[in-house]
Amino acid sequence: MRTIRTVAELRAALAGARRDGRSIGLVPTMGALHEGHLSLVRRARAATDVVVVSLFVNPAQFAPTEDLASYPRDEARDAELAAAAGADLLFAPPVREVYPDGFSTTVHVGGVSEPLEGAERGATHFDGVATVVTKLLNMAGPDVAFFGQKDAQQAAVIRRVVRDLNLPVRIETCPTVREPDGLAMSSRNAYLGADERLRAVALKRALDAAHAAVRAGERDAGAIAAAARARMAELDVEPEYLALVDPDTFTPVQQIGDRDVLVAVAARIGRARLIDNHTIHSNGRAG
């Protein structure tokens, strides 16, 4: 695996594969790789001929009060893990390569970016995500880009960017990878102390409670959310939000009907801000 720092080097490294008609897969990451990221790399390895993993802690998606300075960074470790999972290229540009002097363009996605994570983290969060992912897609020119379902709203925002801007790439969203007790894998799990780690399973228990309520015949979104919140309260965790929404638009759902519904939750536990979600399918099955 080669590590590349500049856009020019990246394009040169991919030119032969593109010329030969080989497919290119991109896995965008902010580093601090864990099994969730590595599952995306392995999926890219199975589905495409050349796998690029980008490693860039994107300052544009952090609010001034968030953890940009303390976000975990260990490029050597990440490079070793990415190579073992099947990456061919690690694209690890410095900030100035991505945002050169005078950079003044922002990609803004209305609607789907505004509730939940957008409301909690501010409008600039998804502007930063949409802008950097658009740049990465243009830099690498992949045939397929791979994202995790844990960041469901982020994936929805990116799908909208690709659709609205006619970008020639397919977005593949892969299942959330979990710890044995159900906690969704996240780089920010490293912030959890021992007691906090035990309480962090409240998010997954809330999702399970929502699914159980639907299986039992409940169709009112308010009642389903109340059951999920009650499960979190047992572990003394108060959600920032817990909502039932349309998985494409993220607009609230009032009743479970004949369409899939996403249950999304976020909570702060100590220093860690955690998010999770799952889909309740129209037949009542969770996925």
The confidence score (pLDDT) of residue 284 equals: 57
Q: Are 89 and 4 in contact (CB under 8 A)?
A: yes
User: How far is the C-alpha of 167 from the C-alpha of 46, rounded, in Å?
Assistant: 23
Q: Under the phi-then-psi rule, with left for phi > 0, alpha for psi from -120 to 50, and beta for the rest, what region is 181? A: alpha
Residue ranges with strand state E in the chain = 2-4, 24-29, 50-55, 89-91, 144-148, 170-174, 239-245, 261-269, 272-280
The confidence score (pLDDT) of residue 212 equals: 97
Structure confidence by residue, pLDDT tens digits, 87-123: 999 999 999 999 999 999 999 999 999 999 999 999 8
Binding residues for (R)-pantoate: 61, 154
Task: Output the average pLDDT for the chain.
Answer: 96
The confidence score (pLDDT) of residue 285 equals: 60
* Superfamily of 187-280 according to CATH: Pantoate-beta-alanine ligase, C-terminal domain (3.30.1300.10)
CA triple 157-161-167, angle to 5 deg: 145
User: How far is the C-alpha of 146 from the C-alpha of 39, rounded, in Å?
Assistant: 10
Binding residues: 30-37, 61, 148-151, 154, 177, 185-188
Mean of the pLDDT values across residues 26-49?
A: 98
User: Among the options 37, 125, 211, 278, which is catalytic?
Assistant: 37
Q: Please, what CATH class does the domain formed by 2-174 belong to?
A: alpha beta
The distance from CA 26 to its chain's CA centroid, rounded to whole angstroms, is 14
Residue extent(s) of CATH 3.40.50.620 domains in the chain: 2-174
The confidence score (pLDDT) of residue 196 equals: 98
Helix axes 35-47, 75-85, angle to 10 degrees: 40
Q: Under the phi-then-psi rule, with left for phi > 0, alpha for psi from -120 to 50, and beta for the rest, what region is 2? A: beta
Binding residues for ATP: 30-37, 148-151, 177, 185-188
Residue extent(s) of CATH 3.30.1300.10 domains in the chain: 187-280
The confidence score (pLDDT) of residue 283 equals: 60
The confidence score (pLDDT) of residue 90 equals: 98
Annotated catalytic residue 37: yes
The confidence score (pLDDT) of residue 127 equals: 98
Q: Please provide the distance, in angstroms rounded to a whole number, between the alpha carbons at the two ends of the chain.
A: 34
pTM score: 0.96
**Which one, of 174, 116, 120, lies nearest residue 146 by Cα?**
174
